[in-house]
Structure 1
Amino acid sequence: MEKKKIKIFDTTLRDGEQVPGCKLNTQKKLKIAKKLELLGVDVIEAGFPISSPGDYYSVQEISKSISEPIICALSRALEKDIEIAGDSLKYAKKSRIHTGIGTSDCHIRYKFNSTREKIMERAILSVRYAKKFVEDVEFYAEDAGRTDNIFLAKICEYVIKNGATVINIPDTTGYCLPEEYGEKIRFLMENVHGIHKIELSTHCHNDLGLATANSLSGIMNGAKQVECTINGIGERAGNTSLEEIVMIINQNPNLNLFTNIKTKLIFQTSDLVSKCTGMKVQANKAIVGINAFSHSSGIHQDGILKKRETYESINPKDVGSHDFSIVLTARSGRAALAYRYQKLGYFLNKNSLELVYSIFLNYADKKKEIVDKELEIILKEANLEKDKLFHHENDHSIVEKNKLNVV
């Protein structure tokens, strides 16, 4: 069976920038946009042009500078919003307006003080108006996760009839369970006339830690586009993480899916976004966290040194990261200690290793982690200088080697 392509819609520059304390100027946005183009994303949501002159200018400059991805601008279902969005995209090689409105009863009643009928009318008019500026119009049904499926299907059908080319089904509050979100996508696929002419898109928030799982469930039930951000940044608890959904697809051939993402650029793209936004990546973040490929347990370390796949489902080099790291703690074993000494150029025989390991444990019980400087101190304390250990200086030249002491 032929693999199905999943389009990657990156909203780091729009939804990602909504993180409190994160403000990107045009220069930084351009830098990230160019990196996203190299990464291979299909759509870059460059901003919300009516929100500020700076955002308008950023979308315009990105439109001038980017060739391959579609450049998308967000708007509300208001004519002025749509006009500004359309104008900001006039230099784009490929352009899309992303317009929409809240469709859940909660939004209709409390946010808009309106009715389903009036919301339906606004949705239709917004898509029609956006078509005056661009051919590619994406409609978002905000809070679709809590929207009644029958009403959601009806509004989808009407916006398709009026020219929508993509329909975004956001789980705006991160409310849905994966099975529930998948069923919603499947319901639309099976009950909306004309649904196969357009693309359904997932846009999941991470309030309950389910954004990636919900996006995966969505594409397994018919969605063809995933809206996500680098490092999973975004409003409140963030959005679906680009690196997570891409690597899930990449590592699971049974899904029969693929993306155009050049995975070896993931780590450097993550680093760039972190530096530009000032948002540090949490240490245990999947794929790009500093601990993602670090091992401190003796059992894990022994396994990883024998064969990487014993404790890693992803090769760190596949995402552009360094090789796995062995972190020395009180839980580390002899194999890990010998490995770290070898990295420093010391090759310990069995007797030397036993002696050094006993001293190491005394140090490790007092500290969270043993670093290279302390390994040198431990070696001196073991008084092994007389053994003339095999040692490489920083310039990698061989200083001395006692063959009897090599493991």
Structure 2
Amino acid sequence: MKDRLVIFDTTLRDGEQSPGASMTKEEKIRVARQLEKMRVDVIEAGFAAASPGDFEAIRAIAETIKESTVCSLARANEKDIQRAGEAIQPAAKKRIHTFIATSPIHMEKKLRMTPDQVVEQAVKAIGWARQYTDDVEFSAEDAGRSELDFLCRIFEAVIKAGATTINVPDTVGYNFPSQFAETIRQLIERVPNSDKVVWSVHCHNDLGLAVANSLSAVLAGARQVECTINGLGERAGNASLEEVVMAVRTRPDIFPVETRIETTQIVPASKLVSQITGYPVQPNKAIVGANAFAHESGIHQDGVLKHRETYEIMRAEDVGWTQNKLVLGKHSGRNAFKSRLAELGIVLESEEALNSAFARFKELADKKHEIFDEDLHALISDEAVTPAQEHYKLNYSQVCSETGEVPHSRVILSVGGQELKAESDGSGPVDATFKAIEQVVRSGSELLLYSVNAITTGTDAQGEVTVRLSKGGRVVNGQGADTDIVVASAKAYLNALNKLHSCQGKVNPQGDV
């Protein structure tokens, strides 16, 4: 029997710390449902003390998820841990993940604490966390640059205090595989009662080594890997869940472990996270990139046609790449629509929401002949915006763009329930539309990113637009989808403005594991 490798997904916490990748509560619940469908062991739902919004999202996920463990991150202080404990309280299986920095530079420059004080605080944190759950994880932030003797000391203390998982993070992506593996190996050998806990790793990708470091740690004895869908995360991101899982699955001759992940749900999870966060997946991304199983070379094509394993080490269908199929059309009824949403793990909270979504589906079906799963996800993303969140709304758009003439846009917006009109010229139809919107809203925001992707294939495909805006240190992404790219662009811009209008600022944590 092989050991179980615990997959700890932190897309909703660490992944959300990517600039502009902040998700609404409803979006987080959709991702959490998909992670549970994929049979992820632990879902780190957020940082409960960061904001009231984070707290409410974690609590909602704790009330929704039944099979996976729901976890909240907390700094090693009583207030943070109390908020985490309250947030995860409804969960069937719950965990508190608490951390404190252990590297000399962090202890001296950031915490301004002595090593003795850090150990004392860590032990207290475990005691506070165990008031809420027996499943307590401890992380030594910046362990990758910490002194090995001090790590042994603090880990021994927190294990004695009741920690059940010990996480060794390479917080700044500084380590190399052989070095990191040796660190894990020595910790397991030297720390008393190391066999009483699960050893975990959380690797960042600053040098492109997050997955390599994670897998090397597994070979050295780690039995939990913390990772994210698509490798999302701060700076260069985290270890990619799909790469870790498929490496272990594809090379059973190398790894003495196995996961419980339902791998056919990997691609659907990747697409959902990409769509919600506005972070597209590069075509040559391993496992989930559009070209991951494409063969251009004639030699490769010939080999694959003769025998798939000549150039493919895994099957595309095993990770969820299947031929897009027509799921619904304009003649489909309300029950068929509702059933397909349920199959996709999408649950609408009320009959009113279902009726509204179905009406939008019918409108879309009149515009394009084939409705794919990706279209439904985009439709529901639009529908998830509640009237309370929709301070700005597009009522009407008209664009004139012809060769040799300056593009011109005219818009009618609803702003707080009041209808306002504006028009503007621009260098292109989208530029003119954005300028017309700004004449009304005067947001003072800076446009950081404008991106367009086709949701499906065909000239009638919906265009999915991502707009990233910055204002006052707050960065948000807005998404919009429509068969008309200019309309999709206006929707995305207004979606971002609505987020800026309604957002509550997050408290930045002292650090990040």
TM-score by length of 2: 0.62
Q: Counterparts of 1:218 and 1:101 in 2: how far apart (Å)? A: 21
Determine if the alignment matches structure 1 residue 35 to structure 2 residue 34.
Answer: yes
Determine if the alignment matches structure 1 residue 278 to structure 2 residue 270.
Answer: no
State the shift of 1:256 in Å. 2.6
State the shift of 1:276 in Å. 1.1
State the shift of 1:295 in Å. 1.4
State the shift of 1:294 in Å. 1.1
Q: Counterparts of 1:285 and 1:117 in 2: how far apart (Å)? A: 44
Query: Secondary structure of the residue that 1:93 maps to in structure 2?
Result: coil
Match of 1:208 in 2: 207
Match of 2:17 in 1: 18
State the shift of 1:199 in Å. 0.5
Q: Counterparts of 1:57 and 1:133 in 2: how far apart (Å)? A: 18
AA aligned to 2:106 is H
AA aligned to 1:262 is E
Q: Counterparts of 1:207 and 1:164 in 2: how far apart (Å)? A: 29
AA aligned to 2:311 is Y
Match of 1:107 in 2: 106
Query: Secondary structure of the residue that 1:81 maps to in structure 2?
Result: helix
State the shift of 1:72 in Å. 0.3
TM-score by length of 1: 0.78
| Between 105-114 and 191-200, the greater mean CA deviation after superposition | 105-114
Match of 1:395 in 2: none
Determine if the alignment matches structure 1 residue 314 to structure 2 residue 319.
Answer: no
Query: Secondary structure of the residue that 1:249 maps to in structure 2?
Result: helix
Query: Secondary structure of the residue that 1:44 maps to in structure 2?
Result: strand
Q: Larger % of strand: which?
A: 2
Q: Counterparts of 2:19 and 2:193 in 1: how far apart (Å)? A: 39
AA aligned to 1:307 is H
State the shift of 1:274 in Å. 0.7
Query: Secondary structure of the residue that 2:35 maps to in structure 1?
Result: helix
State the shift of 1:257 in Å. 1.4
Deviation sequence 1:73-115 (CA, Å, 0-9, x none): 0000111101111111111111111001010011111111221
Q: Larger % of helix: which?
A: 1
State the shift of 1:121 in Å. 1.0
Determine if the alignment matches structure 1 residue 288 to structure 2 residue 288.
Answer: yes
State the shift of 1:62 in Å. 0.3
Match of 2:501 in 1: none
Structure with bigger gyration radius: 1
Determine if the alignment matches structure 1 residue 269 to structure 2 residue 269.
Answer: yes
Structure 2 alignment gaps of length 5 or more:
324-456, 459-513
Match of 1:160 in 2: 159
State the shift of 1:322 in Å. 3.4
State the shift of 1:15 in Å. 0.4
Match of 1:333 in 2: none
Q: Counterparts of 1:304 and 1:21 in 2: how far apart (Å)? A: 40
Query: Secondary structure of the residue that 1:170 maps to in structure 2?
Result: strand
AA aligned to 2:157 is Y
Match of 1:386 in 2: none
Match of 1:76 in 2: 75
Alignment of structure 1 residues 104-183 onto 2, 5 Å: 104-183=103-182
Instruction: State the 4+ residue runs in structure 1 displaced beyond 6 angstroms.
Output: none
Match of 1:96 in 2: 95
Match of 1:5 in 2: 4
State the shift of 1:118 in Å. 1.1
Instruction: Give the root-mean-square deviation of aligned CA atoms.
Output: 1.3
State the shift of 1:258 in Å. 0.6
State the shift of 1:304 in Å. 1.7
State the shift of 1:120 in Å. 1.0
AA aligned to 2:31 is I
AA aligned to 1:179 is S
Deviation sequence 1:237-284 (CA, Å, 0-9, x none): 010111000000101111231100001111111111111111101111
Query: Secondary structure of the residue that 1:63 maps to in structure 2?
Result: helix
Q: Counterparts of 1:129 and 1:284 in 2: how far apart (Å)? A: 45
Match of 1:258 in 2: 258
State the shift of 1:298 in Å. 2.0
Count the aligned residue pairs: 324
| Between 106-115 and 204-213, the greater mean CA deviation after superposition | 106-115
AA aligned to 2:129 is A
Deviation sequence 1:11-51 (CA, Å, 0-9, x none): 00000101001110010000010110010100000000110
Alignment of structure 1 residues 322-337 onto 2, 5 Å: 322=322
State the shift of 1:139 in Å. 0.4
Q: Counterparts of 1:134 and 1:205 in 2: how far apart (Å)? A: 28
State the shift of 1:303 in Å. 1.6
AA aligned to 2:313 is S
Q: Counterparts of 1:226 and 1:308 in 2: how far apart (Å)? A: 31
AA aligned to 1:295 is H
Q: Counterparts of 2:161 and 2:2 in 1: how far apart (Å)? A: 30
Query: Secondary structure of the residue that 2:167 maps to in structure 1?
Result: strand
Q: Counterparts of 2:272 and 2:99 in 1: how far apart (Å)? A: 31
Q: Counterparts of 2:48 and 2:150 in 1: how far apart (Å)? A: 30
Query: Secondary structure of the residue that 1:160 maps to in structure 2?
Result: helix
State the shift of 1:321 in Å. 0.7
